[in-house]
Amino acid sequence: MKQFLVLPIFTLFISMAALGNTPPPPGDEVTYGTNNVWIGYLYDNMGFTTYMGYVSEGTAANPNFDENFGGNTANYPTNGSPVYTETFSARYKLIKNFAAGNYQFTVGADDGYRLSLDGGATWAINNWTDHGYTSTTYTTALSGNINMVLEYYENGGGNRVSFDLQTVCTGSENEAIYGTGNVWNGYIYDGINFNIYGGIVTEGTAANPNFDENFGGDVVTYNTSACGLQTETFSARYRLNKTFANGTYTFIVGGDDGYRLSLDGGSTWAINKWVLQSYTVNSYSTTLNGNYDLVLEYYENSGQNRISMNITAPLPVKLISFDGKNAGKNIKLNWAVTGEINNEYYEVERSANSTDFISVAKVNTSQGTTIGTDKSYGYTDISPLGGNNYYRLRMVDKDQKVAYSSITRIVNADKSSVSIFPTINTGGNIYLKTSTNLKNASVELYDINGKKMQEIKLTPNINAGQTISLPLHSDLFVKGTYVVICKSAGNVITKQMIINQ
């Protein structure tokens, strides 16, 4: 009689497991969570290859979570097998419908983490390195269904991953509308590149479009129609449609940091100083007649913040001519005007580049020569720059209205003038070079507002051909724009604008 061996059922299961027939862990590693609840797929290595099971994070009311996996070197339970909390990884997935608006994502972890808003094709946040707990914030505009993927790995030590989503306050105005009646519409943004629109403000009055805004100070809350924005890393776009009577107008714009002015709706920039800088001023004069779409843009990156706009109308005085010529080592300037009813004085300004001007002389109206209804004036620049000299007149009337002449260029062939360089300094020394003898020489440093910062007495006599380093105090000569004046025997020999970066 044959005998049959009957094995228990559990022995059969063990034999199947030995043959590699263990059921796979639950979860397909592909499906996205919904209704604010993430599906997190856990892996027993840092490369997402040994899948162990899945978990969930977030609630129906809120997708935010902060997970520490039960501590270091623990067994973290999943819907499959537990994961040992050293050298493991997790991939969380959630599809979420966003109402149109701006949103701020903050992800943190110890160690690597990254967040994608397009199913893993690109990473909006990417800090895929070993490190202690750190966090990264990303702000963007969203609308509709978004496939979010949050990946994390732990290499050793502490373990933690967190996700936080917040709605960002935004304004609802049409940002393309221009102000009228001398009142600018100012659209304010979070971020230096007009990133997230916060709300609208106004500048100027019905009587005067000019303004000077410091936003309440450094790193404070600046209120708009909708949101309060921090006065660091922000930007502003001001719009004004204005009608100009036929005449010559001067626009004087200043800012800390970048600023630029357009008279054609932003197609071109009449003034463009779109760089990091302390408060500086630039001007532009042109003839206008009719309606113009003015756009003034500004950004603040750090430190102080300020933007100013000044539009000057034509003066009653009319400039007939303005020119000059070489006169030996000097340059002789001449100009003629008519209709000089209320003018108070003329300022002669000079530049080495036709952009950055400094005042070299003030000529009162009493110094002119009357010829019928016209008057003529002259000024001799005894310390012109070597090479190109750009001159313009700043005409000021008794009501302090200002107008500028066109710019005239005169080439000085004589190279014996004193030079101060470099004009754009990046932290190095400033030098003075002379091809003529100087007696009882001195150098004075002024800030852009005309405040004397320092005076340096040089050796009594400096011989032609010398180049000397100017010992400027580093605590006074900080980032900004300055005017350096060299004197010999009490007479001004040269003035030079210096930009210290």
Domains of the chain: 13-93+114-157 (no CATH), 184-312 (2.60.120.1560), 318-412 (2.60.40.10), 419-500 (2.60.40.10)
Phi, psi (rounded to 5 degrees) for 12: -65, -40
Could you read off the pLDDT of 19-28 as tens digits, one per residue?
A: 455 678 999 9
How many CB atoms are closer than 10 A to CB 73?
A: 11
- The pLDDT of residue 486 is 85
- State the Cα–Cα distance between residues 106 and 124, nearest whole angstrom: 11
| pLDDT at res. 181 | 95
- Cβ contacts of 145 within 8 Å, gap of 6 or more: 95, 96, 97, 98
- Report the alpha-carbon distance of residue 321 to residue 343 in Å, rounded: 16
Q: Is the pLDDT of residue 134 over 90?
A: yes
Q: At residue 394, what is the residue type? A: R
Residue 16 has pLDDT above 60, yes or no: no
Mean pLDDT score across all residues of the chain: 88
Strands (E), 263-354: 271-273, 280-300, 306-312, 318-327, 330-338, 343-351
**Does residue 395 carry a pLDDT above 70?**
yes
Q: How far apart are CA 191 and CA 472, in angstroms?
A: 36
The answer to whether residue 46 scores a pLDDT higher than 50 is yes
Rounded Cα distance between 215 and 233, Å, is 13
Average pLDDT over every residue of 304-319: 85
User: What's the CA gap between 461 and 466, in Å, rounded?
Assistant: 11
Buried b (16+ CB within 10 A) or exposed e, 118-133: eeeeebbbbbeeeeee
Which strand (E) or helix (H) includes residue 10?
A: helix 9-18
Would the pLDDT of 98 be above 80? yes
pLDDT above 60: residue 14: no
pLDDT tens column, 65-91: 999 999 888 999 999 999 999 999 999
248-290, pLDDT tens digit by residue? 888 999 999 999 999 999 999 999 999 999 999 999 989 899 9
**What pLDDT is attached to residue 353?**
77
Closest to 42 in 3D by CA, of 74, 71, 69, 13: 69
Whole-number pLDDT of residue 88: 97
Burial, 219: exposed, middle or buried (Cβ in 10 Å; 0-12, 13-18, 19+)? exposed
Q: Which tokens go with 17?
A: 């497991």
Q: What is the pLDDT of residue 429?
A: 82
DSSP 8-state assignment for residue 314: P
User: Residue 411: pLDDT above 50?
Assistant: yes
pLDDT at 10 (0 to 100): 39
Judged against a pLDDT cut of 50, whether residue 315 lies above it is answered with: yes
Q: Report pLDDT for 467.
A: 87
The percentage of the chain sitting over the pLDDT mark of 90, rounded to a whole number, equals 56
